[in-house]
Structure 1
């Protein structure tokens, strides 16, 4: 019996960062590629995630800088007026549309793969998987490919809280479409998205309260959490820990939100104009009929993949948020390229997250790479750590903002640096430098004696390394 005819070498479901990385790499290898998108081209990052949120965060930081400048810099006088949220969103949408066109739609023409607008579900059998695609006009077609990539991303996850579904609650996506800045905002969650959204709206003029079960950025260093707590307190953001939300309702008199929560064993009521739920995201897999083609999923619907990104069906792969792995667009893009190399060149490459940088775009930003102190200890490594307050970093002094820190985690026996965490302006750039330091296996001594340009925040990494053997409070500001 002859093999079924293949229509494409690779069929990609989704059109975000992971999908495009895969399609580009496969096209460069001369493969026939089909991309299927049921909604807006570009996926989460450009449409509802990284690009729009960081555009609004930049605007909020500019406004906050104007308000804050007089207190930080003698001789500077500034003022701000109310925020025109509709105009701000208009500028954001214009940026998104431009990037969607130049970085996504135009590339399809440049590389020459096919794009199908419609809904795709799997059919056939595990041995002969097929995609059934229903186009926007209702026309259906069946597509066979040598390999399939599921890159459908994730959406905000909303916990089952009594009354929440009956309110007009916000998520990280819908919050960025508000036409007015709410007078007050209750943020549920303490992760990266919650951090960014809370500070965003506080700086636009909302009175913000955060309810979180543990602490801010609970997967990162406690030192970083404490630094952000201080920053948020300075900016009037109320952070309430050990909080469990039990019910939410709309106040008929005001139209606002009334939330009941348990705080360290006691009941407390919170009122706000709006409530934003930022408690994580869930993979988008429920309508793909994955079971029919032998693809296993986890408790949250994530596609279970091995280190080479193959699912339980060797012809079906997954990339990005849909895998349940770390939810960064650069991780998704790396997944897409890696999957193609493994599928078509038998590269046997594996995902390695050891030196994956993590960034929350607060201001100052939180960024980290490698192990935390806790992770090193749990791995059985005898570690030695140093925490450098930013008051010892000349760039921070010049900026008149010493809120934050740089922390180094090192192997006590070898001096090798295992992790770097920073709460600082441009902390993401410090994490990028940290990737290279960790990848090279550099020691504290090596970093302490390397060149570093004066009056850069990156110089703080060198000073933090010097603090292992030197009292940095006694260094001249220009001393090597």
Structure 2
């Protein structure tokens, strides 16, 4: 390893910039840069020239010198551990939310951890999921408000000029910054965690074989192993599709241009978030939904979203599937029962599939469900005694906060503890506009679980915050147990629905009744006050209340 002292860095973005430059130098196998330590650590092939590394850093405007004491010829990962270390050894496959939470919790508990990553550190959320998508969605929302808002009568409209290259640079800079601060930097500063670059597969229930990124293989024994390998976009088996340059969400988020005409196959979270974002940035968008939008949820959700999207000029084709896809002369041609649909670009967003293929999980005795996801219990245990799993590669809901919570609990259990993850009051948010937020049971789910329910739906015409915003699209629905009034579930379609759903989750977790909720103090002129008003509809006609009445 070669350690380089670097002067002139002012932020984590500088570190990321230097790291990227070092990785382009001939002979460099791995580079990590710490802004806080003002150091770069490089693993390189024998004979690699440190002067070229210094030159790469100097070309960026930083001053660098080699720490002579730290030059060690090595092709091993940074901070490798003594194999004779008697501490519990935990192998973690992946480096996303579940993997990081588990690795850090295990290290905190005294274990030594080997974290194995075949690609970029940080997993889906920070690199190609939550973070870049929400940045793009927010930019699109601002573009939409400049073009159109409820206050156009008094505020002049200024149609935006979309400079996609600059938006993309801003988006990627924040992604790089967060990856360095929340993933790479933390790994670099945690001596108990070794990062091993390569692709892991199981040899048996106690050993992994890692195909190293720089060539060769390494057999890695472990006491416990966590599989946190994430998921990848699912691609439906539509004739002709695989022979076309279609997008998944990964390509869409880093596209260097906004297509004039975009077709979207999918009817759930990612499909609708990105469809609306592209429409607001200038695309003419058509959505092909095999059923209706959000058909697995309360029907009112899909109806409200469909109406909102159509009001913005987005074409929503329900009960429509592509039977054939081709690409000719820069254009996609989709065959449907309603005729031919042509578009400049095609986005396929039909869910995500667990990354479990090629891992030889059967050799370790790990069972998968019919969709290829790892089956786990509430303690994140798989069917193999020393192997655990967490995150999107499992049969749990695919949310990064669920993954992180599962990873933490898995680490506790791998270290001899007994922790479980209860998802009965798991909130979920869709970042369309209006947003969709849910927690607990829908009416149908409650019925299937054996509950007799009493439900109320409040339209937003009765929520003061929505009225003063001049945006009453959507509703708030409470599902309660008949008789007791205990809150079982909440479904919301509204602006800022994601900001109020956690209050509902806490109420459900606390086993509050709708009367309890109606009796609480909520600040006036907030969207979350809508929960109180919805609870009051079980007992009162809210149309007859004064604006602040309890």
Which range, TM-score by smaller chain?
over 0.9
1:6–1:144 Cα contact (<8 Å) kept? no
Q: Which of 125, 148, 165 is 1:68 aligned to?
A: 148
Aligned to 2:444: 374
Per-residue CA distance 1:337-380 (angstroms, 9 max, x = gap): 11111121331x33321101111011111000000011111222
* Counterpart among 409, 412, 432 of residue 341 in structure 1: 412
Q: Does 1:261 align with 2:336?
A: yes
Structure 1 position 424, deviation (Å) = 1.1
SS at match of 1:122: strand
Task: Give the equivalent residue in structure 2 for 1:152.
Answer: 229
Quote the residue 1:102 is aligned against.
181
Larger radius of gyration: 2
Residues 42-441 of structure 1: matches in 2 within 5 Å? 42-69=122-149, 71-112=150-191, 113-123=193-203, 125-126=204-205, 129-252=206-329, 255-262=330-337, 267-347=338-418, 349-441=419-511
- Which residue pairs with 1:41 in the alignment? 121
Indicate conservation of the 8 Å contact 1:17/1:332, yes or no. yes
CA separation of 1:6/1:158 partners in 2, compared to 1, >3 Å: closer, same or farther? farther
Counterpart of 2:180 in 1: which secondary structure?
Answer: helix
Q: Number of residue pairs matched?
A: 466
Q: Point out where structure 1 has 5 or more consecutive residues left out of the alignment.
A: none
In structure 2, what is the Cα distance between the partners aligned to 1:345 and 1:463? 46
- TM-score of the aligned structures, taking structure 1 as reference length: 0.94
- Measured in 1, the distance between the counterparts of 2:152 and 2:483 equals 45
Greater CA drift, 83-92 or 153-162: 83-92
Cα-to-partner distance string for 1:450-478 (whole Å, 9 max, x where unaligned) = 10000000000000001111111122112
Contact 1:5-1:144 at 8 Å conserved across structures:
no
Instruction: Give CA-to-partner distance per residue, 1:92-130, whole Å, 9 cap, x none.
Output: 11000000000001111333211111121111x33xx21
Structure-1 separation of matches of 2:497 and 2:443: 18
Partners of 2:305 and 2:266 lie apart in 1 by 14
Shift of 1:219: 2.3
Distance 2:216 2:521 in 1: 63
- Shift of residue 80 of structure 1? 2.4
Higher relative contact order (CA 8 A, sep 6+): 1
Larger deviation: 110-119 or 327-336? Answer: 110-119
CA distance in 2, matches of 1:269, 1:195: 22
Aligned partners of 2:313 and 2:152: how far apart in 1?
21
**Residue 74 (structure 1) shift:** 3.3
Instruction: Give the CA deviation at 1:6.
Output: 7.2
Residue 324 of structure 1 and its aligned partner are, at CA, apart by: 2.8
- Offset at residue 37 of structure 1 (A): 0.5
The offset of 1:53, in angstroms, is 0.3
Q: Note if contact 2:266-2:350 (Cα within 8 Å) is conserved in structure 1.
A: yes
| Structure 1 residues 226 and 374: CA distance shift in structure 2, 3 A | same
Secondary structure of 2:322's counterpart equals: strand
User: Residue deviations 1:166-202, cap 9 Å, x none?
Assistant: 1111111111111110011111110111110111111
Question: Offset at 1:73?
Answer: 4.8
Distance of 1:40 and 1:386 partners within structure 2? 47
User: Shift in Å at residue 131 of structure 1?
Assistant: 1.3
1:7 CA displacement = 8.1
Name the stretch that deviates more: 74-83 or 277-286: 74-83
Deviations 1:274-324 (A, max 9, x none): 111111100001121111121122222211222221111111111000003
Distance 2:94 2:527 in 1: 38
Q: Is the 8 A contact 1:7 1:143 kept in 2?
A: no
User: SS at the partner of 1:72?
Assistant: coil
Within 2, Cα distance between the matches of 1:461 and 1:7? 50
CA contact (8 A) 2:376 2:395 kept: no
Equivalent position SS for 1:115: strand
Gap change, CA 1:455 and 1:249, over 3 Å in 2: same
Are the equivalent residues in 2 in contact too, given 1:406–1:420 (CA < 8 A)? yes
- Say which is worse superposed, 187-196 or 218-227, in terms of deviation: 218-227
User: 2:143, 2:160 within 8 Å by CA — same for their partners in 1?
Assistant: no
Work out whether residues 425 and 509 of structure 2, in 8 Å CA contact, stay in contact via their aligned partners in 1: yes
Q: CA contact under 8 A between 2:97 and 2:122: conserved in structure 1? A: yes
Deviations 1:235-293 (A, max 9, x none): 111111111221011133xx11110123xxxx421111111111110000112111112
